[in-house]
Structure 1
C-alpha cells in the first residue's frame, strides 16, 4: 500500500527532514528513543522506522537468547520436538529427558 503525504523540505545546513505527524504516529516514531534507518536503494532514499526496545523486553534481543532462538527454530524445522497433550504428559517427558524419577519430579 502506498499513501502520499505530500512534500517536506530539507534543511540545507544539516539535512534535517521533518516526517509528517501522521507518519510519525503510525510508526511509533513519536516515542522516546525511536530512530529511522536510512537506506539508499535503486536511486531512492528509504527510511525504515525503528522503535527502541522497552527495557523489560531487552533480554529477548541479547546475543545469547537470539542464539537459543535460532537453535530452537532449527530443532523445530528438523522435527526434534515432542508434542504433549496434557501437563502431566509434558512433566513426564521432562522427567524422562532429565533422568529424574518421581522423587525428583520437576516442580
Structure 2
C-alpha cells in the first residue's frame, strides 16, 4: 500500500471486474470479514429508469422484434395512424 492508501489491483482482478483506468471501485467487507471489491457504476438519477430490470427486459424484447424483422416503417404520420387504425383491437402481430 502506498502512503496515501493507494493500492495496485492485480490485472486478473481488473479483468474479472471489467475495470479500466479511471473506474471507481467499491471495497466493503461481508459478515465473514472477507473484502469484496466491485465496480461502482454511477448512473445519473434521471437515467435510472432506463437501467431498471423491467425496462431492460422491454429493450431486449424490442431488439428481438427488430432483429426478426417484426417492424414496420412509414413515410408519414398519417400512414402510421392509418395502419394503427386497421390493427386496433386485432391480434395482428406482423
When normalised by structure 1's length, the TM-score is 0.49
1:47 aligns with 2:47: no
**Equivalent residues in 2 for 1:49-64, closer than 5 Å:** 49=23, 52-64=42-54
Indicate the structure whose relative CO is greater, using CA pairs within 8 Å and at least 6 residues apart: 2
Which range moves more in the overlay, 51-60 or 62-71?
51-60
C-alpha distance in 2, partners of 1:55/1:83?
A: 33
Aligned residues: 68
* RMSD across aligned positions (CA): 3.3
40 and 69 in structure 1: CA distance in 2 versus 1, 3 angstrom threshold: closer
Task: Name the counterpart of 2:2.
Answer: 11
Q: 1:17 to 1:66 in 2, by over 3 A?
A: same
**Any unmatched runs of 5+ in structure 1?**
1-9, 19-37, 101-107
After the TM superposition, list the runs of 4 or more consecutive aligned residues in structure 1 that deviate by more than 6 angstroms.
none
1:34-60, CA deviations, whole angstroms, 9 ceiling, x for partnerless residues?
xxxx5246xxx9732365111111110
Match of 1:70 among 41, 56, 60: 60
Tell me, in whole angstroms, the C-alpha distance in 2 between the residues paired with 1:58 and 1:65: 10
CA deviations over 1:14-47 (Å, ceiling 9, x no partner): 5x249xxxxxxxxxxxxxxxxxxx5246xxx973
Other structure's SS at 1:76 match: helix
TM-score norm. by structure 2 comes to 0.55
Distance in structure 1 (CA, Å) of the matches to 2:50 and 2:19 = 25
